[in-house]
Amino acid sequence: MPAIDGRAGLAGLLCAILLHAVLPGLLLRAGLARSNFRRQTVPLAYGLLPVLSGLVMLVASSTAGVSAALPVAATLATFAALGVLDDALGHTAPKGLRGHLRALVCERRVTTGLVKLVGGVVAGQVIAHTATLQSWNLRVIDGLILALGANAMNLLDLRPGRACAVWLALFGTLCAANVVSGSPVSVALPALPVAVMVIRDRRAQAMMGDTGSNGLGAMLAALWLSSIPSPPARVTVLLCLLAFHVAAERWSLSAVIQRNPLLRRLDALTGVR
């Protein structure tokens, strides 16, 4: 996992604080808005806050000599761009892979969600094949992990704060593992822009949208890949992501959480319900 240069981390945090002040108004004026569960109109694509701040942080770290930061920045930018497409041009239906395929087969309609999914698979493969020196089969696995990691965060972004909380928990686990192995504490700095976004996201005052969930999910997957060189570990991560997607296609994640008392309590801590 790439260490983040301290000055780059400060620049990213200042960028996040500035965007926290001005981004909601800019998004509303651009027409990027949606009604939340309270029927209040709130900014959509608020995930631009951690995406842009993270890019500032990663690109600045790359210029400071952190070589692994540039591939992660490319991953974040590419997948966030696919999310922006879905936020700006997409609509709420259909949902899930089956819904997008049904729209293609039955209605002869290509949804932005399908473009995002196919684009994510292609982008994952391109990034994996150009950014690593692994064998071709491991690069295929890495590309799938990037694409599925991005979409997994999309699947979690169904209630205020839920996806952010899971992202921060997984990122914190990764940071702890890196610190134990001797990496500098600065690996935790990319979490700061996400923490700034949580202030509004968990209160249902803004939606991070596919811009945030897609970009942050792919970024997290890229950071995990840079920290788990073992091929068996990579295969395990891929199988876990595949299992999660199969489960999400078959069952409603929100319904499963509501039926389980422990999961329901934990979920209630992540934001308003």
Residue-level pLDDT at 3: 67
Q: What are the pLDDT digits (tens) for 165-212?
A: 999 999 999 888 877 776 665 677 788 899 999 999 999 999 999 999
> Can you give the residue ranges of every domain in the chain?
6-270
Q: State the virtual CA torsion across 149, 154, 159, 163 in degrees, nearest 10.
A: 30
CA 260 – CA 100 distance, rounded (Å) = 29
Query: What is the pTM assigned to this prediction?
Result: 0.91
How far is the CA of 147 from the CAs of 131, 197, 216, 242, in angstroms? 15, 23, 11, 11
pLDDT in tens, 73-94: 999 999 999 999 999 987 666 6
Proportion of the chain above pLDDT 70, given as a percent: 93
